């Protein structure tokens, strides 16, 4: 079993464990749990030699007396949407099959600079479009709590890697819920930082005004440590913010006495599973016991969030994905006797999956002359209204607490025939994304069937520390603390 981030780093730093032994243990777990027909399929690539080489380099550094970084020897899984130098990066798509990036994403380089071990690339919905992992061109990852169920998405592989303790932490990306929802479905901790808090350089773009990289971990402290390391200004991402980065880990254990929690009425209505509601209400009561006060708040534009998101995100995706045309990256399909246009068409037809095509079509439509103002322009205005709802609520409360997702993990195949019902699984995560706000998902009591449930905590911009403090305060009382799926024990 692979332990928590801080435990491993402290033991490797103290010389009690060798990084190579930790890496071998993680690889052995991946061998035992991930491969084959019955495996979890969290990983798309595991570069064994590079993993062992990196671990030996950490051990050699220590032997030479050089102080080790804050993630010394910690196995961290990397979502396949993040570029990794020399390691195949597909973003879950056929169109990038076999593509090897010539550079590391900034976040990947920052983990390495703290002596983390990038253990492998994780499965995901193609170009991060999806909520179940089933849009992966390479087959879905499975939920370790019940392998007939989806792990959530799009960062499902990262969530599964952590839930099954094949890694202590993972990087994911969250555009409309892709870290928080899979964290909720798998009983892991996930953080979506404030938009601009973490560099997007080397993250394969889906919807650039929403995309944000963030951590998954087995505990709040581990997620906080990884966040402290990946956050901060990067010259290579013009949208990354210069705000100073606090030590988020220091917020674990901070008092939450007197913090005012808002419970949005709009999130506890039709469509919410009663067991999820009860579990989340119990978690909110737990935070009350820790000294918080609780009151209802209103986020009246919530009901427009799904529609607004699916206009803005698809519009941006249609533009971002135009670069995959068979010329510079990955797949190229050349029909015999065809011209350049035919090559573009054939490449994109064979390279992209159904959901990606659906979104390119929708996004192109909402941006087209004659429809731009009616759809895209209007969605931007509603986005502002949604952000103002949060501004108003944060005039009265310090954090907003809710379920992360309306249901526990649904069955694989349950929603694939009905895109709209899939889109609705993001109702509670989309508003904070549209408003650019940070949000944490932390496990609360499981359902009777033993499925994980997530509590979402949204805080004001750049106040991830308050979200971390609240998540840690709840985690300390949560019956789900340190819960490991039976097949991974």
Distances (CA, A) of 358 to 28, 244, 361: 39, 40, 5
Which residue, 71 or 128, has its beta carbon nearer to ligand GLN? 128
**What is the C-alpha separation between 116 and 104, in angstroms, rounded?**
14
In 279-328, which ranges are E strands?
Answer: 293-297
Catalytic residue among 131, 155, 168, 178: 178
Query: Which residues contact ligand GLN by CB under 6 A?
Result: 128-131, 154, 174-178, 206, 313, 426
Q: Which helix (H) or strand (E) holds 439?
A: strand 439-444
| Cα separation of the two ends of the chain | 7
In angstroms, what is the minimal distance from the CB of 155 to ligand GLN?
7
**154 is known as an active-site residue:** yes
The answer to whether residues 101 and 94 touch, using CB atoms and an 8 Å cutoff, is no
**What is the C-alpha separation between 324 and 351, in angstroms, rounded?**
9
**279 is known as an active-site residue:** no
In angstroms, what is the minimal distance from the CB of 176 to ligand GLN?
3
In angstroms, what is the minimal distance from the CB of 317 to ligand GLN?
9
- Tokens 């993990």 correspond to 409
**132 is known as an active-site residue:** no
Which residue, 178 or 478, has its beta carbon nearer to ligand GLN? 178
Q: Residues for the chain: how many in total?
A: 489
Distances (CA, A) of 295 to 132, 298, 396, 472: 33, 10, 9, 21
Which residue, 369 or 420, has its beta carbon nearer to ligand GLN? 420
Catalytic residue among 93, 132, 154, 425: 154
In angstroms, what is the minimal distance from the CB of 152 to ligand GLN?
9
In angstroms, what is the minimal distance from the CB of 206 to ligand GLN?
6
Backbone angles phi, psi at 410, to 5 degrees: -90, 170
Which residue, 290 or 306, has its beta carbon nearer to ligand GLN? 306
Pick from 447, 466, 450, 448: nearest CA to 458: 466
Which residue, 192 or 225, has its beta carbon nearer to ligand GLN? 192
Residue 439 structure tokens: 């949000």
Closest-approach residue to ligand GLN (CB): 178
Active-site annotation, residues:
79, 154, 178
């Amino acid at each position: 079993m692979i332990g928590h981030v801080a435990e491993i780093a402290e033991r490797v730093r103290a010389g009690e464990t060798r990084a190579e032994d930790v890496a071998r243990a993680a690889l052995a777990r991946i061998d035992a749990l991930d491969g084959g027909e019955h495996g979890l399929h969290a990983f798309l690539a595991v570069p064994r030699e590079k993993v062992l080489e990196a671990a030996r380099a950490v051990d050699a550094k220590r032997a030479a007396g050089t102080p080790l970084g804050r993630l010394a020897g910690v196995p961290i899984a990397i979502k396949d949407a993040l570029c990794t130098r020399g390691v195949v990066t597909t973003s879950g798509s056929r169109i990038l099959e076999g593509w090897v990036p010539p550079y590391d994403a900034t976040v990947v380089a920052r983990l390495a600079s703290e002596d983390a071990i990038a253990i492998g690339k994780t499965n995901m919905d193609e170009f991060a479009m999806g909520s179940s992992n089933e849009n992966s061109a390479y087959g879905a990852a499975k939920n370790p709590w019940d392998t007939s169920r989806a792990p959530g998405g799009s960062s499902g592989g990262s969530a599964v890697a952590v839930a099954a303790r094949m890694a202590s932490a993972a990087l994911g990306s969250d555009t409309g819920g892709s870290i928080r929802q899979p964290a909720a479905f798998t009983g892991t901790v996930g953080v979506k930082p404030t938009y601009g808090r973490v560099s997007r350089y080397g993250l394969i773009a889906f919807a650039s005004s929403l995309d944000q990289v963030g951590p998954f971990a087995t505990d709040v402290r581990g997620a906080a440590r990884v966040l402290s390391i990946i956050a901060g200004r990067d010259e290579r991402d013009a949208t990354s913010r210069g705000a100073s980065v606090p030590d988020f880990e220091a917020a674990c254990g901070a008092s939450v006495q007197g913090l005012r929690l808002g419970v949005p009425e709009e999130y506890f209505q039709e469509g919410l599973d009663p067991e999820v509601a009860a579990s989340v209400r119990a978690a909110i009561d737990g935070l009350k016991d820790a000294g918080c006060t609780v009151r209802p708040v209103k986020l009246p534009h919530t009901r427009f969030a799904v529609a607004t998101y699916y206009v803005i995100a698809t519009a941006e995706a249609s533009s971002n994905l135009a670069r995959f045309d068979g010329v510079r990256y990955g797949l190229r399909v050349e029909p015999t006797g065809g011209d350049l246009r035919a090559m573009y068409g054939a490449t994109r037809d064979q390279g992209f999956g159904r959901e990606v095509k659906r979104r390119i079509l929708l996004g192109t439509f909402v941006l087209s002359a004659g429809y731009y103002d009616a759809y895209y322009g209007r969605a931007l205005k509603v986005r502002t209204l949604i952000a103002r709802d949060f501004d108003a609520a944060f005039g009265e409360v310090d954090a907003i607490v809710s379920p992360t997702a309306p249901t526990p993990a649904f069955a694989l195949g349950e929603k694939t025939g009905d895109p709209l019902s899939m889109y609705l699984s993001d109702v509670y995560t989309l508003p904070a994304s549209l408003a650019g706000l940070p949000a944490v998902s932390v496990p609360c009591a499981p359902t009777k069937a033993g499925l994980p449930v997530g509590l979402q905590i949204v805080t004001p911009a750049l106040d991830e520390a308050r979200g971390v403090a609240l998540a840690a305060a709840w985690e300390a009382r949560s019956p789900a603390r340190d819960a490991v799926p039976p097949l991974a024990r």
